[in-house]
Amino acid sequence: MPPRSPLPQRLGLDPAWLRTEGRDEADPATWPLMRDWLVHRVGMHVDVDAFIAQGRFVTATGVPVLAADPFRPNTFVWFYRDLPDEARVPGEVRVLYRDDRIVVVDKPAFLSTIPRGRHVRESVVVRMRNALGLPELTPMHRLDRVTSGVLLMATERRWRGSYQSLFQYGQVTKTYRAVAGIRDDLALPVTVRNHLTKARGTMQAEVIEGAEPNAESLVEFERELTAAEQGALGGGARSGIYRLTPHTGKTHQLRIHLCGLGIPIAGDPLYPVTLDTPVDDFSTPLQLLASELRFVDPVDGSDRHFVSERRFPLAFESDAEAPHSQAAHTGT
């Protein structure tokens, strides 16, 4: 790990860092200058010469890397990445609970949990670090970008291990709810078990038939949508609300399990087929909600229970319609 960065966070993001090779690993003939090594490491992503001219690469003391600086082994270098242009994701992140150790939020659809790829500023981490003034705020688990609902975050680095261990050892009960079509011939409740895998670079995960199960979900039917709810969803075939309890946490697990039962989740852009939906099209939210989170607090032993405030059917949510709430609830 690097020493403390000489650069502060910018827009809720830590600067990127690199470390040069050690003296035994580096060939002076290959990297005569720090500039040459930087071109090798990040030249595919940034204009190294422009960054150097602008003083954007700095060492541990905050001194800019200069074009003529000789290569130095075991040297840390920090810089700010250029951020991509991003469409504003509608809807606000609602704070359900906050104390000195944790923040629990209610995430809208289409907002990434962490800054990644094309979604950097439009992520829960960046928004909430800025909104709450908590530079070390970090999610303890993740929700898909298109999934809404309850997300647990640790306020400071010192609390991360305690709360991450809850998820690592299966000590958190996560309850989801989803809207999907109704099959009168489907016997519920049912526990779905199979083997899921997702290849790097592919959009869809897949079921590997005959392999040892690594994904398990309990699927229960709660109720049919009312006529008004069905109309708000867009009419069509009868739909209902399903209660989903995952016992594992594989990528797209609940979406695949409902699709495999012949009741794909309403608004799903991937299952059963991939839709060519623009990344800035927020008109059709996935009807999947991380609705409840339960656990025993690893620090003080209290029972924690958090419930999403969002209701089905999930609809396009403007910022004005979803005011940011920072009310502190008991969390029990």
Reported as a single tens digit per residue, the pLDDT across 265-323 is 999 999 999 998 888 899 999 999 999 999 999 999 999 999 999 999 999 876 654 44
Cα gap 178→291, rounded to integer Å: 9
| Mean pLDDT of the 30-36 span | 89
What is the rounded end-to-end Cα distance, in angstroms, of the chain? Answer: 37
| Mean pLDDT of the 250-273 span | 96
Does the residue 148 lie in any domain? yes
**Which residue bears the tokens 């204009």?**
47
Are residues 183 and 104 part of one domain?
yes
**Which residue bears the tokens 């930087």?**
38
How many folded domains does the chain comprise? 2
Are residues 243 and 220 part of one domain?
yes
Does the residue 329 lie in any domain? no
Domain span at 22: 16-79
Structure tokens at 27: 């060939």
Are residues 104 and 226 part of one domain?
yes
Does the residue 136 lie in any domain? yes
Pairing of strands 215-224, 190-194: antiparallel
Q: Find the CATH number of the domain harbouring 281.
A: 3.30.2350.10
Note the pLDDT of residue 322: 43
Are residues 185 and 59 part of one domain?
no
Is the distance from CB of 195 to CB of 214 less than 8 angstroms? yes
Are residues 267 and 171 part of one domain?
yes
pLDDT in tens, 66-94: 999 999 999 999 999 888 788 889 998 99
Does the residue 89 lie in any domain? no
CA distances from 153 to 9, 90, 308 (A): 18, 21, 15
Angle at 24 between CA 23 and CA 28, to 5 degrees: 60
Structure confidence at residue 31 as a pLDDT band (50, 70, 90)? confident
Structure confidence at residue 256 as a pLDDT band (50, 70, 90)? very high
Q: Which domain-ending residue is among 79, 110, 125?
A: 79
Are residues 295 and 146 part of one domain?
yes
pLDDT in tens, 121-132: 889 999 999 999
Does the residue 332 lie in any domain? no
Does the residue 69 lie in any domain? yes
Are residues 34 and 144 part of one domain?
no
Query: Which 3 state secondary structure label does DSSP give 232?
Result: helix
CA distances from 293 to 15, 23, 80, 290, 298 (A): 32, 50, 35, 8, 14
Note the pLDDT of residue 236: 82
